[in-house]
Amino acid sequence: MSNPTLPKKVRIVEVGPRDGLQNEKQVIPLEAKVELIQRLADAGCPNVEAASFVSPKWVPQMADSPQVMATIRRRPGTIYSALVPNMKGLEAALAAKMGEVAVFGSASEPFSQRNLNCTIAESIERFRPVAKAAKDAGIRLRGSVSVAFGCPIQGEVAVSAVTDLVRRFIDLGCDDIDICDTIGVSTAGHTRTVMEAAAGVFPIDRLAGHFHDTYGQALANIYASLETGISMYHSSIAGLGGCPYAKGATGNVATEDVLYLLNGLGIETGIDFEKMFDAGQFISRVLGRAPVSRASAALAAKRAA
Ligand code: HMG
Ligand code: MG
């Protein structure tokens, strides 16, 4: 039954092929990445974060992003997005015909140094030409606010640090802005406070919640965000991932679990749960481990019975 106080539709940004796979130490064959991305798009994901054009020395797993994008069969209507930290990345993203690029800044100075090797202000100056070139090319621009709910180095992050970065992303012309719990430490009340503050400076229908599930709070944080009116969420198939620069951080909330919650609430996503389950099983076989998703485990047990 639908709940009148929650959004009726939610847009899922599937980040498994990027946020998930970027953290894997083992070599993942190109064909497996390609098949995963195709399965996610075929399941109805409107936006698949499929690539990252960052330094291959920093994130080796994403070095084959140009080849991945050149090989995939593209589904009409699906937005394929990529992370870009600078102009070099933007040029590669344009060559790969991405539909959207995401710049990623930090709400804390020490994490900015660790993830981007520069201060927050310097990162914004690097993003400025990226934003202009993306606009000139007519592709979408997203801004991700990392460590918005807590930082692995400094600990607490002030809400004003989050809204400061949101304002800088507005100034760059971002279409959407992601509020990210990089290390998965937030709880529902804090999530509500931060999301309400972000919605005070940027249209709520263009804000996204990006929750890692380190402390098992991601679904509760999504529910708190839904109650705030946020209708865009990032999630990762089979709960893949972590962050190479945040030790101990686990993957994003599993897409299968988010779909189970949203389906139960009668909230539309346009995504086929069974096909996502199959995609999660597929990539987990490639990685040689079980999906980090309770909904996937439950469905697997039901099918095996
Ligand atoms: P740097 O070393 O300070 O930069 O890195 P540099 O400009 O001196 O370049 C060093 C080398 O990297 C040079 O190569 C450049 O050509 C090359 P060399 O001359 O030594 O052979 N390089 C590049 N190569 C390919 N593509 C590029 C590129 N840029 C430079 N775009 C830099 C600065 C930003 C490049 C580096 O710090 C970097 O790549 N950082 C990326 C870190 C990253 O990808 N982190 C994980 C993703 S963020 C995340 O997961 C969080 C998120 O999910 C949200 C959340 O949960 O919070 C989005
Ligand atoms: Mg992330």
CATH of the domain at 16: 3.20.20.70
Q: How many residues in total does the chain contain?
A: 305
Confidence check: pLDDT of 238 > 80: yes
Mean pLDDT across 139-156:
98
pLDDT of residue 250: 85
Question: Residue 4 pLDDT more than 70?
Answer: no
Give the domain extent around 130.
Answer: 11-304
Residue 48 included in any domain = yes
Compute the distance between CA of residue 68 and CA of residue 66 in angstroms, rounded to an integer.
6
pLDDT value at residue 242: 64
On whether the CB atoms of residues 236 and 254 are closer than 8 A, the answer is: yes
User: Which residues, in sequence order, are bridge partners of residue 181?
Assistant: 211
pLDDT for 76 beyond 90: yes
The predicted model scores a pTM of 0.97
Cα-flanking dihedrals φ and ψ of residue 205, to 5°?
Answer: -75, 0
Q: In what helix (H) or strand (E) does residue 162 lie, and over which residues does it extend? A: helix 159-172
Task: Name residues contacting ligand 1 (CB within 6 A).
Answer: 19, 22, 52-59, 83, 85-86, 88-89, 104, 115-117, 144, 146, 180, 182, 210, 243-245
Residue 145 predicted with pLDDT over 60 = yes
How remote is the CA of residue 180 from the centroid of ligand 2, in Å? 7
pLDDT range class, residue 233, cuts 50, 70, 90: very high
Q: Is residue 5 part of a domain?
A: no
Number of domains composing the chain: 1
Using the predicted structure, report yes or no on whether residue 2 has a pLDDT greater than 70: no
CB 90 within 8 A of CB 56: no
Asked whether residue 238 is assigned to any structural domain, the reply reads yes
CA distance 248 to 228: 29
What confidence tier does 241 reach under pLDDT thresholds 50, 70, 90?
confident
Average pLDDT over residues 223-249: 88
Q: What's the pLDDT band for 244 if we cut at 50, 70, 90?
A: low
Three-state DSSP at 36 gives helix
Question: Which H helix or E strand runs over 127?
Answer: helix 120-137
| Distance separating alpha carbons of residues 259 and 12, to the nearest angstrom | 9
